[in-house]
Amino acid sequence: MLRASIACSLLASATSFLLPSSPFPATTSSLPSSCTSFSSSTPLLPGRHVRSGAAKSAIPSLTPRARASSSLLAVRMQADGLCRVVVTGMGINSCLGNTLDDVTSSLKEAKSGIRFRQDFADNGLKSQVCGWPELTEEEIKERIPRQTLRFMGPHAKYAYLALQDAINDSGLKESEYQGNPDFASILGQGGASVQDMMETVEAVRSQAPRWANKVGPYRVTRSMGSSVSAILATAFKLQGPSFSISSACSTGAHCIGVGMEQVWAEGALMVGRLEEEVGDEIQLGKAKLAACGAGEADGWEFTAMFDCMGALSSKYNDSPKTASRAFDKTRDGFVIAGGGGVLILEEYEHAKARGAKIYAELTGYGANSDGYDMVAPSGFGGEECMKIALGMANKGPHGERKVDYINCHGTSTPVGDAMELEAIKRAFVKDPSRGYSPFVGSTKSISGHSLGAAGVHEAIYSILMMQNDFLAESAHIKDICDESEGLNILRKRYDGKVNRVMSNSFGFGGTNACLVFDRV
């Protein structure tokens, strides 16, 4: 039985201001045998890291301000056990391929999927390179029913195909997910369908005859912030908890982490108190399965916004395959990409009972915020996020395994790459509790950056590498950056067994997510 203080990583994004102290009275409940028990004296996570010196002044203090009323907010958490969550299905479409086998081959050969993009050039963008799935409109129409397709923007189309493939890969029958209140769908997007918004505005402003017909009744669903989860839950008849997350480039990873929470803490009870008990009890463990992921469009309309802020690579339009070059001194910005990806997460005993294949176990999830700058990472938020995820994984069934590989956020931006490498050094090499460097690489050097879908794409890349006993080369490094000193950057492919991988996703506004997967 666990009596934990508030430092529970499944609520890590919301608990930096909470106070530890007296546990809630214990209760008992029946749990699957896959649920891991902890003693009341075992903390779920290590204590928060206290910074000193220059590091302390670099970012705002995480210490909460006292409330004017001197009221204390205390949150207690109690759980009878923590259920194991495994990955039993994966679906993807990206510039590295639209099948798991094709993606594995691209990773193994470090084959870049980035190409020249004519419509970017035609519309005057400085960056004219992009990574996008090789899918024609005809192929999409063949796979998505017309009555569903009419509600969709490009990002939802990519996500639909990924979910369809993930379900097929999982071996789930229609009767096991359709109408099943235990099947959650946590599916997000980084941006909406800007194309539909533009066409709507142009039609309204034109005041041409029958302009309202040019807008039509479907633009809202194509462009709303919850398009992906709303459309897919409807199309696949999913009746468990369903909502979208939109957290910039951390979206896909946050969807996976929150999906884990839906399955993970069966029996967990959290009660918030402010002087007196207020609000409702929040019961976790709401699902046995969850479809988690995201879709992202790759049109010039959305890309132009990043181009105008100077975030994209523009020096290598003539050599698109090597334009994304994380950790190289000549990197000049990220290469935008699109596509979709979905994982099927499942409670371990449920998966075993139906004879499902298990790709990996999701053992760690960290989420937090820099609280520092809208577009520049602090590095310290990412460091703490990795520690949160690793602390959670270390308390799981595989214990304190070393992390063999970190798939960095690694977007090929001058500032972002440097900050992340320094964060990895502090979290692993310089931390006396670890004192080692995992292999470090960025798959974005061959895939580009698919924004909201990047977290799920890279989770899939990491799992495929672990499954197939290799780690992809971090490609296109000619002159490695100074910040890499002391780290095991993958200058060439590693072939060998891999037991634990970590995948980082960091987004604008300082939103961070980190996932840890273990070989089962």
As annotated, the active-site residues are: 249, 409, 449
β-pair type (511-518, 494-495) = unpaired
How many angstroms separate the CA atoms of 207 and 168, rounded?
Answer: 46
The conformation of residue 208, written as its DSSP 8-state character, comes to -
How many angstroms separate the CA atoms of 460 and 94, rounded?
Answer: 11
The conformation of residue 428, written as its DSSP 8-state character, comes to I
Residue 213 phi, psi dihedral angles, 5° rounding: -70, -30
Count the neighbouring beta carbons within 10 Å of the beta carbon of residue 71: 12
How many angstroms separate the CA atoms of 330 and 511, rounded?
Answer: 26
Find the farthest-apart pair of alpha carbons in the chain and give their distance in angstroms, rounded: 73
Which residues have C-beta within 8 Å of that of residue 131, sequence separation ≥ 6? 94, 95, 96, 113, 114, 115, 298, 335, 336, 337, 338, 339, 447, 448, 450
Q: According to the 3-state scheme, what is the secondary structure of 431-456?
A: CCCCCCCCEEECCHHHHCECHHHHHH
How many angstroms separate the CA atoms of 367 and 384, rounded?
Answer: 9
Residue 512 phi, psi dihedral angles, 5° rounding: -125, 145
Task: Say if residues 219 and 204 touch (Cβ distance below 8 Å).
Answer: no
Q: Where are the alpha helices (DSSP H) in 451-507?
A: 454-467
Residue 71 phi, psi dihedral angles, 5° rounding: -70, 145
Look at phi and psi of residue 285 and say left if phi exceeds 0, alpha if psi is from -120 to 50, else beta: left
| Amino acid letter, residue 260 | M
Give exposure, 79-114, as e/b (b: 16+ Cβ within 10 Å).
Answer: bbbbbbbbbbbbbbbbbbbbebebbbebbbebbbbb
How many angstroms separate the CA atoms of 170 and 241, rounded?
Answer: 20
Which residues have C-beta within 8 Å of that of residue 348, sequence separation ≥ 6? 32, 34, 83, 84, 85, 86, 358, 361
CA quadruple 255, 258, 262, 266: dihedral, nearest 10: 150
Task: Say if residues 61 and 48 touch (Cβ distance below 8 Å).
Answer: no
